[in-house]
Amino acid sequence: MKYDVEKFCADLKTVLAANMNAKLLQIDAEKADAITLKPVDANAYFFQELNGNTANYDPYVLYSIEDMGSTGLGPVTVERPVVHFVVVLADTGQDATGIAARMLRYQRALKEIFEEHWAENGNGIKLEISSMVPVQFSLMNSANPFRAIGVAVTGQLG
């Protein structure tokens, strides 16, 4: 079976889901302060689109293909998909200082997981990881404001 972008995205999600909650616990233990990171439910990973199910989770992970650069050279086309992994969590407004720290810690978890497992996918593709800035995020089916932060993961296929 040919290793393609679909399988690449699925492999990245598998690595993240298998390691996310353990990494969050590790960061909580290291920081040992009043800020606690909520675990990500195994069903709270959404590919390419949001739907009504996201309202059931806080936090959740949205991942999507953001760019699909490719270069054709004779019979071989090399693809460089950029996949964004974004953690979205509710901002209840009850801990003004904690939300910023929490966001950065979720981003750290994403970054460290992909760094630690940078060659663990079905084809041994080496990953490039870059951080994204935190943003406010709105959902149509919720009155709560949300925050989002993440990383971009790039691989070269072909």
Overall domain count for the chain = 1
What's the confidence (pLDDT) of residue 114? Answer: 92
Rounded Cα gap, residues 90 and 67, in angstroms: 27
CATH number at residue 120: 3.30.70
Give the domain extent around 141.
5-154
What's the confidence (pLDDT) of residue 128? Answer: 85
Average of pLDDT values for 63-80?
A: 82
Rounded Cα gap, residues 94 and 109, in angstroms: 23
- Residues 86-136 have pLDDT tens digits of 999 988 776 656 788 999 999 999 999 999 987 765 566 778 889 888 777
Question: Global pTM?
Answer: 0.86
**41, pLDDT greater than 60:** yes
- Residues 5-28 have pLDDT tens digits of 898 899 999 999 999 999 999 999
Say which residues have a Cβ less than 8 Å from residue 7's Cβ, sequence separation at least 6. 1, 122, 123
Q: What percent of the chain has pLDDT over 70?
A: 87
